[in-house]
Amino acid sequence: MPIGKSAIKHMRQTVHRTLRNKAAKTALRTALKKARAEVATAPAEAARAAAAAAVPAIDRAVTKGVLHRNTAARYKSRLARRANARASGPA
């Protein structure tokens, strides 16, 4: 258990930050899951729209410090690649 006042305050802050980060991660995962499912099953235009809709969620996670920018770039690249492959390949 923390003894000093600052240590107690740090514990309180950690609880709040953990909850905030958990909510942001959950929102990101949900957006990615929806986009990936849509890209896998929907027609070409809907797949592209779903991928484009997930990009702001990914960018938001980077802004909030939940995701590293290179990880976000990788996620966006993979989504775009899948959506474009869906559009160019057999529907």
> Does the structure show a pLDDT above 80 at 89?
no
pTM of the model: 0.81
Q: pLDDT value at position 90?
A: 62
pLDDT tens-place string over residues 22-76? 999 999 999 999 999 999 998 888 888 889 999 999 999 999 999 999 999 999 9
Query: 66-75 long-range CB contacts below 8 Å, 24 or more apart?
Result: 66/21, 66/24, 66/25, 66/28, 67/28, 75/32
Mean local confidence (pLDDT), 69-88: 92
Residue (of 12, 20, 30) closest to 63 by Cα position? 20
5-88 CATH, one of 1.20.58.110, 3.60.21.10, 3.30.56.10, 3.40.50.720: 1.20.58.110
Sign of CA dihedral 80, 37, 56, 52: positive
Asked if 50 and 33 touch (Cβ cutoff 8 Å), the reply is: no
